[in-house]
Structure 1
């Protein structure tokens, strides 16, 4: 075997990549870079907890419900604690909006950034060892540093995001993020404790053959969504639905496809939350050349009215999302 094949280069570490790209960010003072490192570190801790979940008593429901009325899993609560702790110690975030907390968490510091986060997306899949994830959004606070956090700081449109990303805990753990200059993916190498650049400049195909939707609720879908699903079937598209938003999104980002969570009888505004799920993934998909819509318009242009606001969500390959919107226009 050639020497060059014995020791192939692993690649660029996340820290080195962040430093190299820092000048692309208009507020390049190092604060956002540190914030991304804090999130990456918390992701390592959560990854460790997930990997040993079956060996210690941190699986299953904790016996409480979150603000949405959903049963909290033990790992939901643990992940929320880990991320808020990392962001608090890092000092760059002044406030956190989390799926697991009813109100804004004011970190009482001079940080300039507000974080919206779903600490553990797809947590109902934990007990069956299916891929789950973390989704995060980063905004610059609007009010003066040092003053109390207000809703004005957190109820910002998605177009105001300065960074967004997700962690996918699956067959390998990945961090994918954007600061508005394309999308890059990093794979975690646990023996070294480092994220390495594995998916540079990620782009979603303009078209795809995968549609991801919970067809168990088909009877209560709006008529345009029913027609679009039937259109997908008529054109022999593949139905792929994991039930973990991050996992479904990641597959479609790589292969081309559309993910849909429409309004239903039980969730007339959809189920996914605008601030800490839809905005982040919409920012990422647009940076990768795709599209994200409520069925009636661009997700990133929706002005939030409350912390846990829900919206219908159509996200993925540009042509597929446009086709779904066309059924609404008809």
Structure 2
């Protein structure tokens, strides 16, 4: 390891030293999570090979590499964290409900919510995937058996959030409420080292990420914003924008953290979309916490993500985040939904990929 690089272990210990009286439990939990994601990274690099590790049970969809890896990643997260004594309960996208730490293990003072393999459908085509996690303080030890209610708190109460990106390099992005730092896995020494200290999202951007195929389903404020961007220098924004969409929340988030931009997974009018598509507790909340700590903003379109009070552990919400000035513009458009031009419902036009708004 080059001289001067700081490992995650050293980083967490130094953070503990800045808080006299700290027990060390929190830094130990962060390092346990890092170990779990290193194991998952190893499995992800094997791709379809992991599909041979098990078979789908009765009534489940046919086995595919990404479904197998979802289950493998979930098992790794649970097995690596529940025995440590740091957690009281866990919640995952792969679980129907809360998973209390077994009575055979000591229960700790934290709760862990996580998506073990975000963007897992990208495994089939070898695109980036990742693990997202959120840490909350557990209720007092005498509060009884852990339950769903323990997790139903706004994201502003998170004490830690992060994600690991499994791409050309394995990256860990972490916040404990005092900024955002990025770490790269050095495989020669088997440790994460600090490579992206104090990550910041610029207030302004000329890039946005959205699934443009859903244009006809978007609410009017979102269509107004996107069409204005697509109109470029000739439109009301007076400048050109770039559009990208990876369909992996962790990959799009990392891109925005390093280059700026705005991400939109908005509410739409399809019945199956409900109130949104992004899981609040183990998707939108940790990403919003990271983004805000990096100087950006995160909204559902109508309210700050971190202020949403959950009504169920698997609740899904719209998610818009990134460069602050663009997010605030989108929020303003939601407050004035009838403003702006009329829209042609056609997705494709003869002049370019998208027909400009108002034609």
Aligned residue in 1 for 2:223: 226
User: CA 1:24–1:329 in 2, change beyond 3 Å: closer, same or farther?
Assistant: farther
Q: Contact between 2:100 and 2:147, CA under 8 Å: does it hold in 1?
A: no
**Which residue among 293, 297, 302 is the counterpart of 2:303?**
297
Q: Per-residue deviation at 1:25?
A: 5.4
Q: Contact between 1:168 and 1:174, CA under 8 Å: does it hold in 2?
A: yes
1:90-105 aligned at under 5 Å gives the runs 90-105=84-99
Aligned residue in 1 for 2:42: 48
Give structure 2 stretches of 5+ with no counterpart. 233-239, 337-359
Q: How many aligned residue pairs are there?
A: 320
User: CA 1:58–1:243 in 2, change beyond 3 Å: closer, same or farther?
Assistant: farther
Q: Per-residue deviation at 1:258?
A: 0.6
Aligned residue in 2 for 1:241: 245
Whole-Å separation in 2 of the counterparts to 1:301 and 1:27: 30
Give structure 1 stretches of 5+ with no counterpart. 1-6
1:1-330 aligned at under 5 Å gives the runs 8-9=2-3, 11-24=5-18, 28-58=22-52, 62=56, 73-108=67-102, 109-145=106-142, 147-235=144-232, 236-264=240-268, 265=270, 266-330=272-336
Whole-Å separation in 1 of the counterparts to 2:53 and 2:128: 14
Deviates more, 1:117-126 or 1:85-94: 85-94
DSSP-derived class of the 1:232 partner:
helix
User: CA 1:26–1:316 in 2, change beyond 3 Å: closer, same or farther?
Assistant: farther
Whole-Å separation in 1 of the counterparts to 2:252 and 2:267: 18
DSSP-derived class of the 2:199 partner:
coil
Structure 1 consecutive aligned stretches of length 4 or more whose deviation exceeds 6 Å: none
DSSP-derived class of the 2:41 partner:
helix
Q: Contact between 1:93 and 1:107, CA under 8 Å: does it hold in 2?
A: yes
Whole-Å separation in 2 of the counterparts to 1:125 and 1:231: 30
Q: Per-residue deviation at 1:253?
A: 1.2
DSSP-derived class of the 1:270 partner:
coil
Whole-Å separation in 2 of the counterparts to 1:241 and 1:25: 40
Whole-Å separation in 1 of the counterparts to 2:185 and 2:142: 34
Q: Per-residue deviation at 1:27?
A: 7.3
Whole-Å separation in 2 of the counterparts to 1:285 and 1:214: 20
Q: Contact between 1:39 and 1:87, CA under 8 Å: does it hold in 2?
A: yes
Q: Per-residue deviation at 1:28?
A: 2.1
- CA RMSD in angstroms comes to 2.1
Q: Which has the larger radius of gyration?
A: 2
